[in-house]
Amino acid sequence: MAASASARGQASLLLMRQLKDLNKNTDSGFSAGLVDDNNPFEWQVILSGPPETIYEGGLFKARLSFPADYPFMPPTMKFETAMWHPNVYKDGRVCISILHPPGNDPAQYELASERWSPVHTVETILLSVISMLASPNDESAANLDAAKEWRDTPDVFKRKVRDAVRRAQEDWG
């Protein structure tokens, strides 16, 4: 029992250090804070839609939930702002390789080297999500409808994203 309390304490210290480091860089396209000051395992993040993409202008809220054994296991990330994207489930959960547990992929879609590794930080996660927004992966879709539109009817896809960006802007203003 003491080992897991110790591991949780180490994870807590690491997360607080990563939060401090993350917020030093104000030009990153994202910001983060704790949902509750007494719980370093739940973060609120705000991502700016990447410039020169159809997500530009949007400010998207998301939640990062870290396991007690972080950094050995990945957090989960879920958009709280409505998001239309092939790699975001309809309930907002983000589906990218680095957020999948370490090791071999049972479905054999991803290499072990593409999945979670303890070398990743919150910053590398958020940079990967921003990259995902700019370049969807429709071959490993979480939202099949969005992936099909992105591929087959890009004008319809872009209109839905513009609507999501507009709603995200309205949420802030």
- Residues classed as catalytic: 95
Q: Which helix (H) or strand (E) holds 40?
A: strand 39-48
CB atoms within 10 A of CB 104: 11
How far are the Cα atoms of 1, 97, 123, 151 from residue 137, in angstroms, in the given order? 41, 11, 21, 10
CB 101 within 8 A of CB 117: no
Task: Specify the length of the chain in residues.
Answer: 173
- In angstroms, the CA 67 to CA 74 distance is 7
Single-letter residue type at 116: W
How far are the Cα atoms of 46, 85, 86 from residue 145, in angstroms, in the given order? 25, 9, 8
Which DSSP state fits 169?
H
